[in-house]
């Protein structure tokens, strides 16, 4: 039973500033094409005028986040297109338990099987919903997959040598966050205002697979770029030492590192190294950094607003962050 | 965004990714193993763009959000600015952050070869922390770029990354006894570790230089 109310299934999604074909005087593709050609010719002329060190650093980190995410995002949309095209609703319904209360923890554990960056998980969760999986179950998978897969756990073990309890605590706290949010969405889902995008229009026949991949990639990548811009700005202009002043305080320390994890938007395979370098903070605060980051950050929030609607994102984001902080504090107090 | 434009945007991003991985500039942003995933991603994006560009105009429009326009930005930045690897600017801003933890608890002695032993800056810092004092009295050579500090101090510096430049950490050793080279220039420093420096977490390791020679910027500055 799907409890989450799906608001307007508007096929046009967000309105674009694109002029309608009837009114267009000069073709948009031609304008973009000419601009790209100009860029080609201007290459090298501009690089000398943009020589500010800070701006250069921002550019490097911004491009780095996009370049690092692009293969994972493409992999994610190919996987989600494969789910849409190959997996019938009947097959999925046989694999996933009928009772959504049970299906939520199953989806959380299933996250172990998708060793990828968090940006891959967003389109996959979207396509699972399109295939009739209860939204709460798909969202649990979305939260668990980037946090509990083997690649992330191994990198955590490497970053915290001699502290295997950090790996265990991360696994438990992340899984707990995903399952708790999943159950919350089952219970209160009617208030989450999830907007489910319908299948891309007119995608049938032989070109359907590539059309779905292209459509999903274009849909998600713009929001990834927004997240990357913000994350690069924080990484460049906010020295991490400003957060050290509150490192001594238990509660403020946890909240500070949770906020830091949200704004710096690191990929979950490398965030453990950054957490380990925040030595001034308590282990519980470091754990909060590791649990919040893969579950929710500025890049994911932007992508989820694109995939599931702004109204959903403004409700879902705080729920996830609060749950992740509580779960990390509880597990940190217990295990660390 | 019209369907043909969508194709152009995809093809442009794909072409930039192919070029980055082909020419090696991808190493300014990510680690070495990303080369082939990036090349494949770029090629697939270009292939995905063929149909909307070639047969696009007359076909059904597939609306995408306005945010998709932003996809042009990273490709344009690569194209117009050619961002360089992270250097002294970020290293100096992040100087007071702790370097990554050592992967092993204690290190084997340095090889018993004549002359200076080549070491990564990172390993030099780890060995300085090691109780076994494997650096004591040995001549070592480290390579890094020059970052500056207060009072004319300077450091042989590396940025190390786990995934991409967003998670870069600074590792640096202070060089004493040699004139300060230009910021961001690459040098090979031969010298001996000043006993006891950098042995506490948070303290500065010092290398007493015997010689400093300029070297070309390596292809992978983070590696």
Task: Dump strand ranges (E) for B39-176.
Answer: 117-118, 139-148, 154-160, 169-176
In angstroms, rounded to a whole number, what is the distance separating the alpha carbons of residues A51 and B11? 28
Going from N- to C-terminal start, the domains of chain B cover 3-83, 89-214
- Contact of B33 with A151, CB cutoff 8 Å: no
Say whether residue B69 is in contact with chain A using an 8 A CB cutoff: yes
Helix and strand numbers, DSSP H then E, in chain B? 5, 6
> Does the beta-carbon distance from A68 to B29 stay under 8 Å?
yes
Say whether residue A326 is in contact with chain B using an 8 A CB cutoff: no
Q: Which residues of A79-100 are buried (b: 16+ CB within 10 A; e: fewer)?
A: bbbebbeeeeeeeeeeebeeeb
Say whether residue B101 is in contact with chain A using an 8 A CB cutoff: yes
In angstroms, rounded to a whole number, what is the distance separating the alpha carbons of residues B107 and B109? 6
Out of A17, A65, A239, closest to residue B164 by CB: A65
Q: Which residues of B31-69 are buried (b: 16+ CB within 10 A; e: fewer)?
A: beebbebbbbbbebbbebbebbbeebeeeebbbbbebbb
State residue B59's pLDDT score.
55
Q: Chain A contacts of B77, Cβ < 8 Å? A: 59, 62-63
Residue with tokens 């009928």: A98
Specify the CATH number for B89-214; select among 2.40.160, 2.60.40, 2.40.50, 2.40.10: 2.40.50
Three-class secondary structure of residue B122 per DSSP: helix
> Does the beta-carbon distance from A63 to B78 stay under 8 Å?
yes
Report the phi/psi class of residue B198: left, alpha or beta, with left for phi > 0 and alpha for psi in -120 to 50. left
Structure tokens at A204: 């049938």
Q: Chain B contacts of A270, Cβ < 8 Å? A: 161-164, 167
Q: Largest alpha-carbon pair distance within chain B?
A: 76
Residue A207 scores a pLDDT above 80: no
More confident: A179 or A230: A179
Predicted ipTM of the assembly: 0.94
In angstroms, rounded to a whole number, what is the distance separating the alpha carbons of residues B30 and B34? 7
State residue A1's pLDDT score.
39
- The pTM of the full predicted model, rounded to 2 decimals, is 0.84
In angstroms, rounded to a whole number, what is the distance separating the alpha carbons of residues B58 and B74? 29
Percent of chain A scoring above 90 in pLDDT: 35
Say whether residue B100 is in contact with chain A using an 8 A CB cutoff: yes
Task: Dump strand ranges (E) for chain B.
Answer: 117-118, 139-148, 154-160, 169-176, 186-193, 206-214
Nearest CA in chain A to B18: A67
Structure tokens at A233: 């700005």
Out of A11, A15, A270, closest to residue B167 by CB: A270
Nearest CA in chain B to A238: B93
Nearest CA in chain B to A45: B80
In angstroms, rounded to a whole number, what is the distance separating the alpha carbons of residues A314 and A302? 10
> Does the beta-carbon distance from A270 to B163 stay under 8 Å?
yes
pLDDT, tens digit, for every residue of A46-82? 555 555 888 899 999 999 999 999 998 898 889 888 8
Out of B1, B17, B101, closest to residue A16 by CB: B1
Nearest CA in chain B to A280: B98
- Among A residues 157-216, those touching chain B with beta carbons less than 8 Å apart: 158-162, 200-202, 207, 210-211, 213-215
What letter would DSSP give residue B218? P
Q: Which helix (H) or strand (E) holds B18?
A: helix B3-23
State residue A106's pLDDT score.
92
Interior angle at CA A262, CA A261 and CA A264, nearest 5: 65
Q: Chain B contacts of A53, Cβ < 8 Å? A: 89
Nearest CA in chain A to B84: A60
Nearest CA in chain A to B70: A222
Out of B5, B70, B202, closest to residue A28 by CB: B5
Three-class secondary structure of residue B213 per DSSP: strand
Say whether residue B9 is in contact with chain A using an 8 A CB cutoff: yes
> Does the beta-carbon distance from A225 to B70 stay under 8 Å?
yes
In angstroms, rounded to a whole number, what is the distance separating the alpha carbons of residues B122 and B100? 8
Q: What is the mean pLDDT of each run of 10 residues along chain B (223 residues)?
A: 89 95 94 94 95 68 82 91 92 84 82 89 91 87 95 95 88 95 96 90 90 95 88
How many Cβ pairs within 8 Å bridge chains A and B?
231
Q: Chain A contacts of B28, Cβ < 8 Å? A: 60, 64
State residue B112's pLDDT score.
85
- Among A residues 75-104, those touching chain B with beta carbons less than 8 Å apart: none
- Contact of B47 with A6, CB cutoff 8 Å: no
Which residues make beta-bridge pairs with B213? Answer: B188
Q: Chain B contacts of A57, Cβ < 8 Å? A: 86, 89-90
Say whether residue A246 is in contact with chain B using an 8 A CB cutoff: no
Nearest CA in chain B to A231: B166
> Does the beta-carbon distance from A218 to B10 stay under 8 Å?
yes
Residue A198 scores a pLDDT above 70: no
Interior angle at CA B90, CA B89 and CA B96, nearest 5: 115
Percent of chain B scoring above 70 in pLDDT: 97
Residue A197 scores a pLDDT above 80: no
pLDDT bracket for residue A141 (50, 70, 90): very high
- Contact of A221 with B71, CB cutoff 8 Å: yes
> Does the beta-carbon distance from A60 to B83 stay under 8 Å?
yes
State residue A131's pLDDT score.
83
Give backbone dihedrals phi and psi of B157, rounded to 5 degrees, phi first.
-125, 145
In angstroms, rounded to a whole number, what is the distance separating the alpha carbons of residues A45 and A40? 10
pLDDT, tens digit, for every residue of A271-281? 888 888 787 88
- Contact of A2 with A135, CB cutoff 8 Å: yes
With helix as H, strand as E and coil as C, how does chain A read?
A: CCCCCECCCCCCCCCCCCCCCCCCCCCHHHHHHHHHHHHHHHCCCCCCCCCCHHHHHHHHHHHHHHHHHHHHHHHHHHHHHHHHHHCCHHHHHHHCCCCHHHHHHHHHHHHHHCCCCHHHHHHHHHHHHHCCCCHHHHHHHHHHHHHHCHHHHHHHHHHCCCCHHHHHHHHHHHHHHHHHHHHHHHHHHHHCCECCCCCCCCCCCCCHHHHHHHHHHHHHHHHHHHHHHHHHHHHHHCCHHHHHHHCCCHHHHHHHHHHHHHHHCCCCCCHHHHHHHCCCCCHHHHHHHHHHHHHCCHHHHHHHHHHHCHHHHHHHHHHHHHHHHHHHHHHHHHHC
Say whether residue B59 is in contact with chain A using an 8 A CB cutoff: no
Structure tokens at B145: 């770029």
Out of B9, B83, B164, closest to residue A68 by CB: B164
Say whether residue B34 is in contact with chain A using an 8 A CB cutoff: yes
- Contact of A311 with A7, CB cutoff 8 Å: yes
């Amino acid at each position: 039973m799907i409890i989450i109310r799906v608001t307007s299934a508007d096929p046009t999604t967000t309105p674009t500033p694109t002029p309608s074909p009837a009114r267009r005087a000069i073709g948009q593709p031609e304008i973009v094409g000419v601009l790209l050609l100009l860029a080609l010719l201007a290459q090298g002329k501009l690089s000398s005028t943009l020589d500010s060190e800070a701006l250069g650093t921002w550019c490097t980190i911004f491009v780095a986040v996009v370049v690092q995410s692009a293969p994972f995002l493409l992999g994610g949309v190919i996987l989600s297109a494969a789910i849409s095209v190959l997996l019938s609703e009947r097959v999925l319904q046989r694999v996933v338990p009928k009772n959504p209360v049970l299906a939520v923890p199953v989806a959380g554990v299933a996250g172990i099987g998708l060793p990828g960056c968090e940006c891959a998980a967003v389109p996959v969760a979207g396509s699972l919903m399109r295939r009739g999986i209860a939204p709460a179950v798909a969202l649990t998978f979305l939260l668990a997959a980037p946090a509990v897969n083997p690649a992330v756990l191994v990198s955590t073990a490497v970053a915290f040598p001699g502290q295997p309890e950090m790996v265990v605590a991360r696994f438990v706290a992340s899984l707990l966050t995903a399952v708790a949010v999943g159950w919350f969405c089952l219970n209160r889902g009617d208030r989450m205002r999830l907007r489910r995008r319908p299948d891309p229009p007119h995608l049938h026949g032989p070109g359907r697979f590539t059309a779905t991949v292209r459509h999903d990639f274009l849909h998600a990548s713009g929001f990834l770029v927004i997240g990357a811009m913000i994350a690069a700005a924080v990484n460049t202009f906010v020295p991490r030492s400003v957060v050290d002043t509150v490192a001594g305080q238990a509660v403020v320390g946890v909240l500070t590192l949770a906020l830091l994890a949200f704004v710096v938007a690191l990929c979950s395979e490398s965030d453990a190294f950054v957490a380990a370098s925040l030595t001034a903070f308590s282990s519980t605060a470091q754990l909060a950094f590791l649990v919040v980051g893969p579950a929710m950050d500025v890049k994911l929030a932007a992508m989820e607003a694109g995939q599931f609607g702004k109204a959903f994102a403004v409700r879902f984001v705080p729920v996830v962050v609060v749950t992740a902080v509580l779960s990390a504090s509880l597990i940190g107090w217990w295990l660390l | 965004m019209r369907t043909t434009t969508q194709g152009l945007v995809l093809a442009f991003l794909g072409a930039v990714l192919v070029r980055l991985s082909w020419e090696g500039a991808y190493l300014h942003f990510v680690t070495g193993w990303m080369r082939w995933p990036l090349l494949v991603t770029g090629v697939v994006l270009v292939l995905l763009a063929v149909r909307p560009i070639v047969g696009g105009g007359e076909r059904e429009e597939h609306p995408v959000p306005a945010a998709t326009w932003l996809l042009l930005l990273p490709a344009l930045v690569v194209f117009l600015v050619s961002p360089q690897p992270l250097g002294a600017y970020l290293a100096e801003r992040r100087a007071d952050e702790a370097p990554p933890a050592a992967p092993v608890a204690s290190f084997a002695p340095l090889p018993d070869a004549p002359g200076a032993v080549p070491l990564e800056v990172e390993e030099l810092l780890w060995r300085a922390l090691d109780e076994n004092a494997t650096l004591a009295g040995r001549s070592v050579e480290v390579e890094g770029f020059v970052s500056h500090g207060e009072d004319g101090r300077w450091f042989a510096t590396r940025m190390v990354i786990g995934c991409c430049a967003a998670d870069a950490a600074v590792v640096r050793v202070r060089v004493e006894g040699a004139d300060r080279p230009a910021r961001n220039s690459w040098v090979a420093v031969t010298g001996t570790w000043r006993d006891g420096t950098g042995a506490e977490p948070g303290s500065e390791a010092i290398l007493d230089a015997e010689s400093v020679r300029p070297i070309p910027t390596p292809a992978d500055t983070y590696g």
